[in-house]
A and B are shown apart, each in its own frame.
Chain A
């Protein structure tokens, strides 16, 4: 297992290197540049040229890249142009929000998606199956930001839920880990816990829609496939009770592709979080990225895009590891 992990980690290095070149080249090819972004509206070509010189942006791109790489391997991604805070400390500050939102969305997606997919497969062709299929189609098709705005306008008021932010403004809650719910529990500030949960509900549901729909469909397809396998017929003919067959054979075998999907969807959540966090003003990494793109915050974008890639690589590794746990044959191979 350890060798497997090390090999996967080593494989991640060239991936990240290539990505860093792509990200760097892309940002450098955009008109404007960091100097214009730093100087804002009143930037003149002379001021921009002067600042480019101070920042070393008038040097050849290859030199700039290697300097960037040299700093990046030591964890120095510079400071955000928008907030002037070191980008790594920004990521540390904003990451908990994204994790909190992502986990909530994934819990919703898994808790609803797997039973719904199973139900759909078990009652194939019935009313429940048809309703679930239509709903999952809508779930995949509706853009997150549209859903987000609809939820804000139609649901927030009637349900008494906040439509934006992570916490009520001015709420004096203690921050320890920056996980709002966890901090509230740790300090027994139950008002703050409830406040944080209320702020999570709408964005988590908005973010959950796509993974929820995908998980439902994959579960359905996978369970259907397993139900037709010979070993299920064998299990049934052995006289095992239905709950045992379902738990031991159908679910266990049917879950393998679902786990892969959950893993991939977790990686994709970061993409969805950009829109969701933006719409709900939920200050996580997605919010940070959206703001970074708008304000041409190059140091922040460089760091966030590479960080996102790293997370994706790690999540995929976890998926592979969990494969091995569910199905030992994968490990042997």
Chain B
């Protein structure tokens, strides 16, 4: 099967990577200890048959699948698990550490931090009790677990290959980094496919069936990812039969593609689009007033916007985590569209002459925001209708927008969103509101503490409950306004069977057949 990818992969050592086009490939080559059930964000066993946290959440015991081998023929066992954990923790060099984005996010720090930006390490040690049991000890409980164990960055890699091809040698080269031979040519995992080649000139990554794969033997003998950056060119290639599927079809093409017999698989939403409010921006005094923020929320007709401007499967957001995330609750304060109430709240707050600098990005589409200009127009029309004056500021996404909003906080309102990495509410709300940030410009120690406590609460029901409470608090405090959950799609030809669209874009090709 040949699948059209939207961008180049970066390298194939997933610990140094944080972007989807590479993960699409490494997900076929490697397994993680725990994985997401196909088509959902729920957890299921992968290399670990069982996982058990201690009561204080500081010790994780993994019972490993037996008889598993890496595609280079070496054994996967508890020693290999510990080798991987120790490798990440002991990674040396500022170049290497700065590229371990997810590790730094989840595990905070390293054995020896190369930057003041990293904190106290969460990881302590790993013991291989017996070949089938690995015990990971942490310095403190971490809310991200066990879901974060599903992150492709934390894939289990062959210790032999890592050592042989000097995987840890990341060097700085001018404004950039160069990686080892391992990362470019010899990634070795236990996944259903093994790496064959990466032809840069042709933009083709070729994988072949891994006969030693434990349980997930691929049905395809060969899987090729063909890089075609232009969306229109991907569509043409599918129509011409050059490829059998591609990612990120334009929402406007869904109908057309279906009429031509292609299968457009809409993923369950795993993202959120929000209208940010800056309480330290030009209109700070007014926006610090809760009633004004509530007025904004009541004033926006989100249902109408979702219905008329977003692709099928999109939903109106009532909080900052999508429904598939554990920690979501229906029991939050809601702000249904009510212009009269909005006007009344503005009056009570003495903010009837409000003028707001509304930033929105150009030259970009995101899964949660297919067309930023549309979102801006829709929301600003609603706000004008309740008497707010809008000063629009449009800036290119990488050409000043993100800097102005996230670094300098020059705005009053802005559009932004987030696609989740794993099934943990902290990955959403903790990222947004866990500390003081120029993006939102508020300092609410109570909320910051609640988020930190939820993050440190032991896994399971207590953890979900802690986040439900936090989500309620957030929607009462209203630091921003959640707008929608958007579903990206993936498209495959009529002859392709067995591909399950995943909310986490975690599509696995081992179940796929092409007639």
Contact = CB atoms under 8 A, between A and B. Distances in A.
Interface string B106-123: 000000001101000000
Interface in B499-514: none
B173 A86 contact: yes
Interface stretch (B93-101, B141-149, B248-256, B306-314): B93-101
Interface string A149-173: 1001000100000111111111000
Interface residues of B, number: 55
Interface in A197-251: none
Nearest to A298: B175
Contact of B10 (A50, A82, A90, A165): A82
B115 A34 contact: no
B67 interface: no
A178 to B, nearest CB: 5
A37 B176 CA distance: 11
A281 B229 CA distance: 8
A79 B233 contact: no
Nearest to A68: B174
Main secondary structure of the interface of B (DSSP, over half): mixed
Interface in B186-241: 199-204, 206, 222, 224, 226, 228-230, 232-233, 236-237, 240
A165 B179 contact: no
B454 interface: no
B2 interface: yes
B377 interface: no
Interface in B19-60: 19
A303 to B, nearest CB: 10
B98 A51 contact: yes
A43 B228 CA distance: 25
A97 B237 CA distance: 20
Contacts of B237: 163-165, 169, 281
Contacts of A164: 228, 230, 233, 236-237, 242
Contacts of A152: 236
A138 B176 CA distance: 44
A81 B16 CA distance: 13
B184 A97 contact: no
Contacts of B240: 156, 162-163
Interface in B385-436: 398-400, 402-403, 406-407, 419
A47 B174 contact: no
A84 B438 contact: no
A166 B202 contact: yes
Interface string A52-74: 01110100000000011001000
A59 to B, nearest CB: 12
B179 A84 contact: yes
A88 B202 CA distance: 17
B202 A77 contact: no
A30 B399 contact: yes
Contacts of A77: 174
A1 B427 CA distance: 68
A43 B242 contact: no
B178 interface: yes
A14 interface: no
B398 A283 contact: no
A94 to B, nearest CB: 6
A93 B202 CA distance: 9
B477 interface: no
A188 interface: no
Contacts of B243: 169
Contact of B176 (A49, A79, A97): A79
Interface in B287-346: none
Interface residues of A, number: 67
B201 A175 contact: yes
B231 to A, nearest CB: 11
Contacts of B242: 162, 164-165, 168-169
Contacts of B18: 39-40, 42
Given A31-B399, A168-B242, A83 B175 contact: no
Contact of B174 (A76, A82, A84, A96): A76
Contacts of A93: 200-201
B15 to A, nearest CB: 14
A31 B406 CA distance: 13
A299 B173 CA distance: 10
A152 to B, nearest CB: 6
B45 to A, nearest CB: 28
Contact of B178 (A50, A86, A149): A86
Interface string A240-269: 000000000000000000000000000000
Contact of A84 (B2, B10, B204): B10
A324 interface: no
A47 B175 contact: no
A281 B228 contact: yes
Contacts of B206: 170
Contacts of A53: 115
A282 B9 CA distance: 18
Contacts of B179: 84
A16 B163 CA distance: 43
Contacts of B94: 54
Given A43-B402, A45-B438, A178-B201, A38 B176 contact: yes
Contact of A83 (B10, B236, B398, B400): B10
Nearest to A85: B200
Best-buried of A43, A152, A281 by chain B (most CB within 10 Å): A281
A308 interface: no
A279 B230 contact: yes
Given A30-B399, A36-B402, A80 B176 contact: yes
Contacts of A85: 184, 200
B200 A299 contact: no
Contact of A169 (B117, B224, B400, B407): B224
Contact of B406 (A44, A80, A149): A44
A36 B366 CA distance: 17
B199 to A, nearest CB: 8
Given A152-B236, A168-B242, A291-B229, A32 B402 contact: yes
A153 to B, nearest CB: 8
Best-buried of B177, B183, B366, B400 by chain A (most CB within 10 Å): B177
Interface of B: 2, 7-11, 18-19, 94-95, 98, 101, 114-115, 117, 172-179, 183-184, 199-204, 206, 222, 224, 226, 228-230, 232-233, 236-237, 240, 242-243, 366, 398-400, 402-403, 406-407, 419, 438
3 interchain residue pairs of minimum CB distance: A78-B174, A31-B400, A45-B407
20 contacts: A36-B398, A40-B18, A41-B419, A49-B117, A57-B175, A78-B173, A83-B9, A84-B178, A93-B200, A94-B200, A162-B240, A164-B228, A164-B233, A164-B242, A169-B2, A170-B204, A170-B226, A281-B228, A281-B229, A291-B229
Given A78-B175, A82-B8, 19 more contacts: A32-B399, A36-B403, A40-B19, A42-B101, A44-B406, A47-B101, A54-B94, A79-B173, A84-B178, A86-B178, A166-B201, A167-B202, A168-B242, A169-B226, A170-B206, A175-B199, A280-B233, A291-B229, A299-B175
